[in-house]
Amino acid sequence: MDCLQIKEGKSLVRVFQAAPQIGKVDIYIDGALVFSGLDFMEFTEYVELEEGEHTVGIYLSGTTENPVINQMLEVDEGQMYTVAVTGNIGDLSLLVIKDYSEKQPSSEYSTFRVIHLSPNAPAVDILVNGETFFEDIGFREGTSYVDVNPGTYNVKLVVSESKDVVFPLRVKLNPDRIYTIYAIGQLGSLGVIQSVDGNTYLCKEA
């Protein structure tokens, strides 16, 4: 990813298709087609939006009527956002996730957070190398960023009530990177996406 810059009066926004039941979608912002054919588990690039309110319409790919989501997005100046398409049919909505522009990567550590986007999975705890890092993360909820030593970690998502493991994984966390780990899909076919957030590549003014 090239160096990203936030211009005066604007923010940077990308869309993540995390709704497992609807497949490819087209994204309209303020009535204009901005992205097409975005499939489940895919991200768009970041695009500039003026600060203020915008209407975001999510349509099944190739259609122009009856959006599956039509929602207002409030954009603050100088920020970065990941806007996730979330839920199952009958409970679809956009989740606006702030990719904090003030957070900076470091050569001394790696940074990550976890966001729960599996529509029918219960609340989970996040264990890292056997240690509980986060507790009781529900659907459409996320953790704050934490800084850790670079390296490879054993991460487990466990049901908060029963402590049953619903997804074990090994993640490599590199220095100079800010990650979000998204839990997606349906319970029984749960998946995880490890994303490098755009604030990793944000150019800071000298």
Q: What residues have CB less than 8 Å from 112, skipping those under 6 apart?
A: 145, 146, 148, 171, 173, 178, 179, 180, 181
Query: pLDDT tens digits, residue range 3-38?
Result: 889 999 999 999 999 999 999 999 999 999 999 999
Q: Write down the pTM of the prediction.
A: 0.94
Q: Does residue 69 register a pLDDT over 50?
A: yes
Mean pLDDT of 51-77: 96
Q: Which domains does the chain have, with CATH numbers?
A: 10-98 (2.60.40.1120), 110-201 (2.60.40.1120)
CB 173, CB 197: distance < 8 Å: no
pLDDT at 206: 41
Distance CA 173, CA 150 (A): 5
For residue 184, is pLDDT > 90? yes
